[in-house]
Amino acid sequence: MVSALDRKALRDLLRLWAQVLAIGGVLACGVMVLVLGSGTRASLEASRAAYYERQRFAEIFADATRVPETLLPEIAAIPGVARLSPSIRTSAVIDLPGVSEPVSADVRSLPVSGRDPVLNAPLLRAGRMPDPLHPDEVALYAPFAEARGLMPGDRLSAVIEGQRRSLTVTGHVLSPEYIYTIGPGSMMPDDARFGVLWIGQDAAAAATDMNGAFNSLALQLARDAVAPAVISALDRLLAPYGGTGAHDRSDQISHAFLQSELEQLGAMALILPPIFLTVSAFLVNMVLSRLIALERAQIGLLKAVGYTTGAIATHYLKLAAGIALIGTVVGWGAGWYLGAAMTRMYADFFRLPWLIYAPSAWPFVLSALLALLTTLSGAGRAVWASVRLPPAVAMSPPAPPVYRRGLIDGLGAWAHLQQTTMMILRAITRWPGRAAVTVFGVAASVSVLIASFFTYDAIDLMVDEIFTRANRQNVTLILASARNESALDDARALPGVIRAEGAFVLPVRLRNTNREELSSLTAHPEHSELSRLIDDKGRQVQLPDHGLVLPEGLAGKLGLAPGDMVTVEALAPPRETWAVPLTATIRQTLGQDAHIAAPALFGLMRQTPQVNQINLQVDATQMDALNAAVKSTPAIAGIADWTRTRSQFTATIEENLSISTVIYSALGMLITLGVVYNAARIRLSERVHELASLRVLGFSRREVAWVLVGELMLLTLIGLPVGWAGGYGFAALVVQGFSTDVVALPLVVNRQTFAYASLIVLATALAAALVVRRRLDRIDIVQALKARD
């Protein structure tokens, strides 16, 4: 049976439905973000785990120059190795009919038996796998085949190790090694310009001179294995055969990009919800404080007829719990729906073959508990302040406030302010706590909007740094092998080339005491004008004659500061170890490559200068001729078109940002609506007698409305600069939480971002205040004047 107090709680929820929904909406945002971020991450992890398990994704990876198969038993005997899968890996340039630009590709071998590899098994999506007895058959990476319209039975031409071969497509496959596929010199997946070919073992061995040998190895570890010990032992065995350093999944590029996205989802679920929950607590306190003040006499009467203090307190806490229930249910529904949609989007982007949307229960339980604790904490102070009063005191009207002339009154008289304006200023200064709650809520909404919009500023800066200031080349050629600097003369002879500069990239392992990281050491030529290093102010960094320059993130992981010595182990010839000083660190937004002056590196290597990449400035009208020349040049293993990369990078980022910006803008507007609408309703209920009196005294509707709307807009204006400071700090938290080993967001907030966030909040606040103003216009003046409060 429902008690009388419970029926009253239900009536109060219905009577205050607009305010309850406004608070519930803000609370639901916090619940939704927690469920969305945690649920999407858990679902992606489950989908990835199922994919990895079914296709037997390896745990350790290693590449070398040429390793005899006779070494396999010795590798298998390493303690902790459960299974191993050798293969042949090389690169190719695909020439497609009617396509002017060359297409880069990885080439992977399949076992001689025709069965799936022991590890990293391709997943067939269409057609069949290549027949090992037919060396001209090939299976294609499914997204690449779909982007180019290549179906089973079609033929294509590819240059593999300098040999042009005609191949027949037999099927489309996916692979856990290529969840996130990036071609040589690229920064974003481009399915139309980078593919993967799977061919038979004999065909791959014949093309690469690898009969009885392999150059790529994948390992699966035993349950009790120690990965660093296995990697160290594997490196010792492969070093004489050109090993470039074994690594675990964290350095496998496809896995690393997906893991980076998962970490960002976790950061979102950690950073955003506290803002919405804190605002909700203040809103609950505002509404219940006013409700309890209006029902002061009723509380005294309930106590007089026998209701205990605990029963009355529980009644109001149940009212707060009802708000929590509404916010939780709405947040759960929105979080589940958006989580499923976001998981599908990620699954498509990362080419996961199936989707397991199975968010764990803990985000739902945790969000419900947090929502309940939020509303109860917001209601606690207001409830305790009233229910502890004795019945006789509670039934008496509260003592009227003591009014004194203060500084505001003096300033108003000096400035000859209107009476309605003075009423606004007095209301703010005499109830600073209530004003502070409104200011805090407005500041929170501004902070959320700034933290959302600043990502555009960060991306704009990244694009400008990467594609305008740091990399001025149109094209980068990736060479099949290192060559002397005479290759630059050959590059300058290619069609449309205006300027050519070489670069040399060496795989290295960087060490500092017990810390180590795999990286690429890029040697920059002197007076480089195309590919440059820039500092955080956009100025070119001049590389020192000796020593390294490291990205800040990489230096931090190694525990290094400028002046420290770094141990550099070359993982390619001459395979030596050097002690090199760290001379400077830079903010690098993409990647974690180390940098050195070319003369310094070749001095350490005791070799004449070489290049394995060539940066070109090309006449745009000659790109087709250049592409045709690249297709017929076996020494070129790949080509990166920076103009295309920039447009693709910008389009992908803006598509993702547009979705998140719409969501966060809506969340920021919901905070403003919840705060300002509730503040307006409370002020209207408190001052209805006063405002009705103004109407009787001859003030117009507009002048009376100014007292209500003007106060709210003034508090909104006061909250804006507080929100600017909070937004900048919030953006710093987003940068810290969303930056990973792959991408380091710069912290930059432009003036336009502050302006956009402020205008949205001002417009939303004004709309909420005007909605309440309509209620003011409909007030019965006679009834308002008769009211005691």
Burial class (CB in 10 A: 0-12, 13-18, 19+), 38: buried
Q: Say whether both 239 and 277 belong to one domain.
A: no
Contacts of range 452-455, beta carbons closer than 8 Å, 24 or more positions apart: 452/660, 452/661, 452/664, 452/665, 452/668, 453/661, 453/753, 453/756, 453/757, 454/727, 454/731, 454/734, 454/748, 454/749, 454/750, 454/753, 455/657, 455/660, 455/661, 455/734, 455/745
Is the model's pTM score more than 0.85?
no
User: Among the three residues 226, 249, 272, which one is the final residue of a domain in this structure?
Assistant: 249
Q: What is the mean pLDDT of the chain?
A: 83
**Integer Cα distance of 764 and 673 in angstroms:** 6
- Tell me the CATH number at 611: 2.40.40
Question: Angle at CA 472, nearest 5°, toward 468 and 475?
Answer: 125
Contacts of range 563-570, beta carbons closer than 8 Å, 24 or more positions apart: 564/512, 566/510, 566/511, 566/512, 567/510, 567/511, 567/512, 568/508, 568/509, 568/510, 568/511, 568/521, 569/508, 569/509, 569/510, 569/511, 570/506, 570/507, 570/508, 570/605
Residue 557 lies in a domain: yes
Least confident piece of the model among 53-67, 322-336, 443-457: 443-457
In this structure, are residues 351 and 178 in contact, taking their beta carbons and an 8 Å threshold?
yes
Helix axis angle, 17-55 to 4-15, nearest 10°: 90
Record the tokens describing residue 548, joined without a space: 């390294």
> Residue 541: helix, strand or coil by DSSP?
coil
Residue owning tokens 């080419």: 351
Measuring CA to CA, how many Å separate 143 from each of 97, 191, 350?
18, 6, 11
pLDDT at position 412, please? 57
Query: pLDDT tier at 724 (50, 70, 90 boundaries)?
Result: very high
Q: Say whether both 1 and 135 belong to one domain.
A: no
> Residue 81: helix, strand or coil by DSSP?
strand
Residue owning tokens 């692979």: 175
- CA torsion angle 485 486 488 492 (round to 10): 160
In this structure, are residues 236 and 569 in contact, taking their beta carbons and an 8 Å threshold?
no
**Integer Cα distance of 596 and 221 in angstroms:** 36
Using the predicted structure, report yes or no on whether residue 312 has a pLDDT greater than 60: yes
**Integer Cα distance of 123 and 172 in angstroms:** 9
- How many Cβ atoms sit within 10 Å of the Cβ of residue 56? 17
DSSP class of residue 531 equals B
Measuring CA to CA, how many Å separate 763 from each of 49, 321, 749?
46, 31, 21
**711: amino acid identity, one letter:** E
Residue owning tokens 């501004």: 446
Using the predicted structure, report yes or no on whether residue 376 has a pLDDT greater than 80: yes
CA 64 to chain centre: 34
pLDDT at position 479, please? 85
**Integer Cα distance of 515 and 567 in angstroms:** 10
Which of 218-222, 320-324, 419-423, 771-775 has the largest mean confidence?
A: 218-222
Record the tokens describing residue 489, joined without a space: 């003369």
State pLDDT tens for residues 168-182.
Answer: 999 999 999 998 888
User: Among the three residues 383, 399, 415, which one is the final residue of a domain in this structure?
Assistant: 399
State pLDDT tens for residues 512-529.
Answer: 888 888 888 988 888 888
Nearest to 347 by CA among 451, 247, 262: 262
Q: Say whether both 464 and 602 belong to one domain.
A: no
Q: Say whether both 12 and 106 belong to one domain.
A: no
Query: pLDDT tier at 142 (50, 70, 90 boundaries)?
Result: very high
**Integer Cα distance of 502 and 598 in angstroms:** 10
Q: What is the mean pLDDT of residues 129-149?
A: 90
Residue 413 lies in a domain: no
Using the predicted structure, report yes or no on whether residue 403 has a pLDDT greater than 70: no
Using the predicted structure, report yes or no on whether residue 787 has a pLDDT greater than 60: no
pLDDT at position 198, please? 94
Q: Say whether both 209 and 326 belong to one domain.
A: no
User: Among the three residues 227, 249, 271, which one is the final residue of a domain in this structure?
Assistant: 249
Q: Say whether both 513 and 611 belong to one domain.
A: yes
State pLDDT tens for residues 206-237.
Answer: 888 899 999 999 999 998 889 989 999 999 99
Spatial strand order of the sheet with 213-221 comes to 81-87, 213-221, 60-68, 247-248
Residue 480 lies in a domain: no
Q: What is the mean pLDDT of residues 531-551?
A: 81
Q: Say whether both 102 and 159 belong to one domain.
A: yes
Record the tokens describing residue 734, joined without a space: 């987003």
Annotate 653-682 with b (16+ C-beta within 10 A) or e (fewer): beeebeeebebbbebbbbbbbbbbbbbbbb
Residue 755 lies in a domain: yes
In this structure, are residues 202 and 135 in contact, taking their beta carbons and an 8 Å threshold?
yes
Question: 457: domain range?
Answer: 431-472+642-789
Using the predicted structure, report yes or no on whether residue 460 has a pLDDT greater than 90: no
Residue 624 lies in a domain: no
Residue 583 lies in a domain: yes
Q: Say whether both 553 and 684 belong to one domain.
A: no
**119: amino acid identity, one letter:** L
**Integer Cα distance of 773 and 289 in angstroms:** 22
- How many Cβ atoms sit within 10 Å of the Cβ of residue 696? 11
Residue 424 lies in a domain: no
Q: Say whether both 590 and 686 belong to one domain.
A: no
pLDDT at position 390, please? 66
**Integer Cα distance of 335 and 649 in angstroms:** 28
Using the predicted structure, report yes or no on whether residue 776 has a pLDDT greater than 80: no
Which of 106-120, 211-225, 460-474 has the largest mean confidence?
A: 211-225
- CA torsion angle 722 728 729 733 (round to 10): 150
Q: Say whether both 327 and 373 belong to one domain.
A: yes
Q: Say whether both 71 and 43 belong to one domain.
A: no
Using the predicted structure, report yes or no on whether residue 497 has a pLDDT greater than 50: yes
SS (H, E, C) 161-201: CCEEEEEEEEEEEECHHHCCCCCCCCCCCCCCCEEEEEEEH
Using the predicted structure, report yes or no on whether residue 789 has a pLDDT greater than 70: no
Domain count, the chain: 4
- How many Cβ atoms sit within 10 Å of the Cβ of residue 79? 11
Record the tokens describing residue 122, joined without a space: 């391709």
Residue 629 lies in a domain: no
Least confident piece of the model among 57-61, 90-94, 220-224, 646-650: 646-650
Which of 425-429, 430-434, 443-447 has the largest mean confidence?
A: 443-447
**Integer Cα distance of 301 and 426 in angstroms:** 33
pLDDT at position 84, please? 92
Q: What is the mean pLDDT of residues 276-286?
A: 80
Chain length of the chain: 789
Measuring CA to CA, how many Å separate 69 from each of 73, 445, 458?
8, 63, 49
Q: Say whether both 682 and 744 belong to one domain.
A: yes
pLDDT at position 775, please? 72
pLDDT at position 452, please? 81
Nearest to 176 by CA among 141, 137, 148: 141
Using the predicted structure, report yes or no on whether residue 691 has a pLDDT greater than 50: yes
User: E strands along 100-237, which residues?
Assistant: 103-110, 123-127, 137-141, 155-160, 163-174, 194-200, 213-221
